[in-house]
Amino acid sequence: IIRRSMQSLISFLLEMKKPNAVLEIGTAVGFSSMFMSEYVPEDTIIDTIEKVPIRIKCAKENFERYGKNDRITLYEGDAVDVLKKLAAEGRKYDFIFMDAAKGQYLNFLPRVLELLQPEGILISDNVLQDGDIIESRFAVTRRNRTIHKRMREYLYTLTHSEELTTAVLPVGDGITISTKKGRKA
- pLDDT tens track for 148-158: 678 889 999 99
**What CA–CA distance (Å, rounded) separates 49 from 28?**
9
| Residue 174 one-letter amino acid | G
Alpha helices in 24-181 (DSSP H): 31-37, 53-65, 79-88, 105-115, 145-159
Residue 64 confidence class, pLDDT cut points 50, 70, 90: very high
Enter the DSSP assignment of 17. Answer: H
Gap between the terminal Cα atoms of the chain? 35
- Residue 131: what pLDDT? 47
Report the candidate in 111, 37, 113 with the shortest Cα–Cα distance to residue 74: 37
Is the pLDDT confidence value at 80 over 70? yes
Contact of 179 with 119, CB cutoff 8 Å: yes
Contact of 44 with 119, CB cutoff 8 Å: no
Rounded mean pLDDT, 47-76: 97
- Residue 56: what pLDDT? 98
